Chains A and B, each alone.
Chain A
């Protein structure tokens, strides 16, 4: 292969570029990203960066002296993939002809329709989003977070520590029930109340009030919550519109194998935009976690360089962390299929639990709150190769 293009210049794209060079690929490497920034780390955007304890320079994902011998096309959005001509089309009319393609376009924050142009309403995915939100939070006031998922909870936690009055609105009866199950979702979201943040569950948002600037969040049950700042944390959607009509299977992201291989030869997908086959779960999953975006590109690159001729290994179970109210939350595996959850260490009251999810007696997931040591042990156990059935 003489040219490989990586579309998406963030964690998964950079990790793929690194793996390409690490695995001895010596040809032309083009990295295309629509943001103007060099690759930066997103997790601190809702935590230390938002709190003002980390600056922009600290977010860089590249080492100071790192040189991947890549052509960086930044501020360049890919708008299409021409499969016959093996070309990536860019918004400015240019195109990049390439033999190998790594799709790493990640995900974009979902927004609430009708709130565009209303000052004080934020979503949080990019550095630019985070700068804008940080500047507003610094002025204080009443914050309403729409969505009690991880990003919403982290923003609530950070804003609370900055002294804001915070309300979280969650449409589900329990926040985090999808990733953690209802019991543990309830336990983790109890952190809000512990820290004086109001959590309203089981109620949807009808609309956002205000002329040019937000002044309230109107709920479906008729209540209105006064607000100076609103953060919409209602999830993210994979950035794959640009691949419509390319011949790739798209279903909640790019459908791909355990090693990122797609139906098109020479094309792999990695990171938040990839809906990969998880042999442990026996199903496709799109996982929006940092560690997968960093680790999994290596297998995809191995497949790409070998022309698909390598056997995909079994990736480690998905893992993520979150930091809320000074508590380190860690989770690995899939809670979905579990038929029991038991607290093995610590106590729910102390918010320092290690909980194990089992299916038919076998551990399938583990949750830790301030339990890094036991969490690592359990996570290792989950990672043991699945038994052949």
Chain B
């Protein structure tokens, strides 16, 4: 399913847009003008990667500085250990669309247990 995100013109380079679906997905517009979509929640703890530090094709988690590759979702070093999912992106008529991955997300334990209705 393609989900409309926002207009490309409304997302300046170097910025991110968080799509409030469950779990949230973030769309990044890099300084080089590329657009990528990955899961917004860091795999270490409950942090929003859209709040993070975007440099090149990597975003650094705003809390504990693990870096995720926007192209592959891979993480560089701890404290996060698992990658985030990447999602398909389509820009058509100036509008950004995301095709959400059907893989299971790698949510951090605190968020996963909350979604499962367990103790937070």
Contacts and interface: CB of A to CB of B under 8 A. Distances in A.
Interface of A: 15, 18, 41, 43, 53-54, 58, 61, 63, 290-291, 294-295, 319, 321, 328, 330, 372-373, 375-376, 379-380
A295 B66 CA distance: 10
B62 interface: yes
Contacts of A18: 77
B63 interface: yes
B13 interface: no
Nearest to B63: A321
A376 B53 contact: yes
A257 B51 CA distance: 32
Contacts of B48: 372-373
User: Which one of B62, B63, B109 has the highest number of Cβ atoms from chain A below 10 Å of its Cβ?
Assistant: B62
B64 A372 contact: no
A contacts with B: majority SS: helix
A70 B109 CA distance: 31
Contacts of B78: 41, 61, 63, 294
A372 B47 contact: yes
A286 B17 CA distance: 38
B67 to A, nearest CB: 11
A379 B63 contact: no
Contact of A376 (B52, B64, B81, B109): B52
Interface of B: 47-48, 50-53, 62-65, 77-79, 81, 109-110
9 contacts: A15-B77, A18-B77, A53-B110, A61-B78, A63-B81, A321-B63, A330-B62, A373-B51, A379-B53
B62 A376 contact: yes
A295 B67 CA distance: 12
Contacts of B47: 372
A372 B65 contact: no
Contacts of B77: 15, 18, 294
Given A18-B77, A41-B79, A294-B77, A375 B65 contact: no
Nearest to B62: A372
Given A372-B51, A379-B53, A295 B65 contact: yes
A191 B109 CA distance: 26
Given A18-B77, A63-B81, A372-B48, A294 B65 contact: yes
B12 to A, nearest CB: 13
A375 B77 CA distance: 22
A375 B47 CA distance: 13
Contacts of A41: 78-79
A328 B110 CA distance: 15
A321 B42 CA distance: 16
Contacts of A379: 53
B60 to A, nearest CB: 8
B89 to A, nearest CB: 22
A43 to B, nearest CB: 8
Contacts of A53: 110
A54 B44 CA distance: 12
Contacts of A328: 63
A165 B20 CA distance: 39
